[in-house]
Structure formats: C-alpha cells, structure tokens
Amino acid sequence: MSSVFKRYEFQPFIQEAIETLGFHEPTPIQEKMIPMIKKGQSAIGQSQTGTGKTHAYLLPLLNQLKLDEQEVQLVITAPTRELAKQIHHEVAKIGEHSRLQLSSKCFVGGTDKQRTIDKLKAQPQVVVGTPGRINDLVKEKALLVHTAKAIVIDEADLMLEMGFIEDVDRIAARMPENLQILVFSATIPEKLKPFLKKYMENPQYAHIEPKQVQAENIEFVLVPKKSRSKIEVLYDVLTAYNPYLAIVFTNTKAKADEVADALLTKGLKVGRVHGGLAARERTRMMKQIRDLEYQYIVATDLAARGIDIPGVSHVINFELPSDLDFFIHRVGRTARAGHSGVALTIYEPTDEDALNQVEKKGISFSHREVRNGEWVDLTERHKRSNRKPVENEIDAKAKSLVRKPKKVKPMYKKKMKYKMDKIKKRERRVKRRNND
C-alpha cells in the first residue's frame, strides 16, 4: 500500500481493502476529507462525480465501526436506488477483508417493504439506501437509527431536486444530537442551506474544483437560437446529427417534460429522466434506455450524475445550467471509455457571460447552425467584439502631427485637440477638392 495511505493509520482490514482496490494515493477530496472524518468532525465535501468521494467517506467511517456491536452505527443516504446499490457494493467489497463480519444492508424503493421488515430482526451496522425507504423503515420502528454515530448525505443537491431532503431531515431527527454529519454535493444550492444550518454547526468544508474536460475527445459546438423557436433549433440539430444516443439537458423537471412532449409531437421517440418520475416508472425507463429503445433522452441534471447511461454519443444543452459546474458534469456523459463525443449548446444573447466563463475553463467552441438539414460553419462568435476599430486616415494624420509637449502646461489637452481639429478640417477640404 502507498505510504501516503499508511499515514492515516487505518485498521488492517481497511489497509488490505485499499491494496485490493489498487489505490496508490488519495485523490484531492480524499486527502481533504479523510483527516476531518477520522477526527469525528462534521463536514461538507463539494466535488464532482468521479473524484473518489465515495471512498473519501467509506474508508474512515468503516474504519471506526465497532464490529463486535450489532447495532446501526452508520447511515448512508443516496438520491437514487442505482447509486445506493453502487455504494453498498463498495461497502461489501471493503467488508470482505474484515476478520469480524461487517454487516450492511441496502434499502431502496421498488422492493417488498414487509419482507424487508421481516428480515430486520438483527440490525445491520451499516445502512445504505434511498431516504424514502429508510424513513419508512424508521417510522415502522423496524430500523433503529438512534444508535448511529454518523450519517452521510450523498449527492445532496440531487436530494433537494428530487424532493428527498425532507425524508433525510426526518431520519436525522431520530438520531443522536452529537451525530457526525457528512454532506457530499457537486453544488451547494441556496435552498439546501437551511438544512445544513439546522444540523451542522460550523462544519468543516472542502471544495475540489471540477476537472477540466478532455477536450481532445469532445467536439464542443455552439448553435445560436437567433429569431427561431428553440424547439425548432433543437429538432433540426437532433435530426441533422442522427445520433447513436443523445441526452438533451434542461434545468427543471417541467422544462424536461415540455421539451420531451414537443419532440414527441414532431415524431421523435423520446425518453425522459428526471426526479418527478415515480420509482417504478424510472426503473422501466432506464431498462428501455439500456435496451436502446430510445435514440433521444430529455433529462435534468439527475442523469448527469445520479444515473449511469452508457453509450451517449451526443450531449445537447437546451439550457445552460445556472451553476456552471454542471456544464462539466453534463458533457462528461459523452466521450467515455476512449470514444469521442459531441457536446452542443443552443445559446441566446443572454448566455454570453456564462459562455465566456465556460471558455475560461479551457473549452473552445466551434460556431455552427443547421440550414436545410446541412451543417454550416458560422463566423467566430467573438469576431465583432474582437474587431479593432479601423482608425480614420485623417484622424491618424492629425495624431501624428500633434505631439504631446515634453513639459505639459494647464489646458494642454484642450490646445492639442484644437490643433488636431484644425488639421482635420484642412485635410477634409483637400480631400473634397481632389474628389471634385
């Protein structure tokens, strides 16, 4: 094992797990969060998907379990059943190295609740699941969380978007006052702050800036809306590309439904993924997507992080996200596993400031549009603003003849302007005479 991980002085079974997992050195979020968590501090970790945040909390939290005590010691909540199952799988992989059995259970919607309750005669040491199902089991007094030492709220901003933060609130209310609370989120929306303030007094904070997109694998395209309907532009873009699989991103559930319905009326077979879908409906939708029944998916940012959709060839930003970190999450859905991809954004004049910020992240756009079903290159978006004003010949001559005096006196600027105006008038007369 890397000497860097050895400094954390984990228990032998955690050290073995790190070796088996092939970790050589901590990622930035792990380096910041592990020492805080080991000290028992509550903390907020802000980082994007793929930065190693799951193990940033699993390694230190599983390390501090009392494996000889069969009671709930750790609760981990996730916004989607897919993510909850993934986290539970990682818990199980680490637990395999323990001499004493590390017991963990995964509780998600879409399963038989009564059967789950019947199996809860013995309490697991680690609980992983979606907030709604965990809260149901707590209300039924089948799951006893009052003994827990720590709770993890993973992908907290998605929890908020999907309406689960109230369930998390109810679960946390049943837990001890001196609870260690760990919140992980790609962004910290304003609406999340009341929850954080309620449960976290002076938490530690770690923010890892989003990684740069691998621009060599992704073609970034800007398409102006101009005076057309945005839906018309989107339809032209999608049909011109004829993608293997395209995700169209919107900022809200309502907008996702509006766009999906509009595309359906134009004859496209469109799937949709957002937090407003019931658990069963989302499961069915995800199966259809994986079975390649849809060529087009309209989604909120839930699909950028909370759900894995393989084979995405094109990402379309119907709207730029209000938090530009999400731009990185979105375009990161394409060009995976060595493949190339396209990330296209439909923009309006009001998006200029946001696009300038995106460009500062090292992203270069090509400027194009679809005309009669064919792609056409447009002039550079910044060309007008970058154009240097062409200096009038007469102005240039006047400037060259009137020099700033070495020793300036009061009113010197006014005198210089008077001389320059005089030269300009003379030159204009000469020019008119020559033209006659």
Q: Between the CA of residue 133 and those of 27, 80, 111, 286, what are the distances in Å?
A: 32, 11, 9, 20
pLDDT digits (tens, 9 = 90+) for 97-130: 998 999 999 999 877 888 888 888 899 999 999 9
Do 215-386 and 3-207 have the same topology in CATH?
A: yes
What pLDDT score does 411 carry?
Answer: 77
Q: Tell me the backbone φ, ψ of residue 19, rounded to 5 degrees.
A: -65, -45
The pair of structure tokens assigned to 167 is 């369930």
Euclidean distance between CA atoms 150 and 161, whole angstroms: 23
How do the domains of the chain map onto residue ranges? Answer: 3-207, 215-386, 393-435
β-sheet bridge partners, residue 377 = 368
Which residues fall within 8 angstroms of residue 288, CB to CB, at 6 or more apart? Answer: 271, 294
Q: Which CATH number is correct for 3-207, 3.40.50.2300, 3.40.50.300, 3.20.20.70, 3.30.70.100?
A: 3.40.50.300
What pLDDT score does 64 carry?
Answer: 96
Q: Tell me the backbone φ, ψ of residue 24, rounded to 5 degrees.
A: -105, -40
Average pLDDT taken over every residue of the chain: 88
Which residues fall within 8 angstroms of residue 62, CB to CB, at 6 or more apart? Answer: 14, 74, 91, 94, 95, 102, 126
pLDDT digits (tens, 9 = 90+) for 146-163: 999 999 999 998 888 778
Provide the 3-class DSSP secondary structure of residue 403: coil
Q: Give the pTM.
A: 0.68
Q: Percentage of residues in the chain with pLDDT exceeding 90?
A: 53
Euclidean distance between CA atoms 118 and 178, whole angstroms: 30
Euclidean distance between CA atoms 323 and 91, whole angstroms: 31
Instruction: Name the fold adopted by 215-386.
Output: Rossmann fold (3.40.50)
Q: Considering only residues 420 and 242, tell me which one the structure prediction assigns the higher pLDDT.
A: 242
Q: Inform me whether the pLDDT recorded for 273 exceeds 80.
A: yes
Euclidean distance between CA atoms 414 and 322, whole angstroms: 49
pLDDT digits (tens, 9 = 90+) for 190-235: 888 888 888 888 889 998 876 655 556 899 999 999 999 999 999 9
What pLDDT score does 210 carry?
Answer: 66
Q: Percentage of residues in the chain with pLDDT exceeding 70?
A: 92
What pLDDT score does 118 carry?
Answer: 85
Q: Residue with structure tokens 């658990």? A: 279
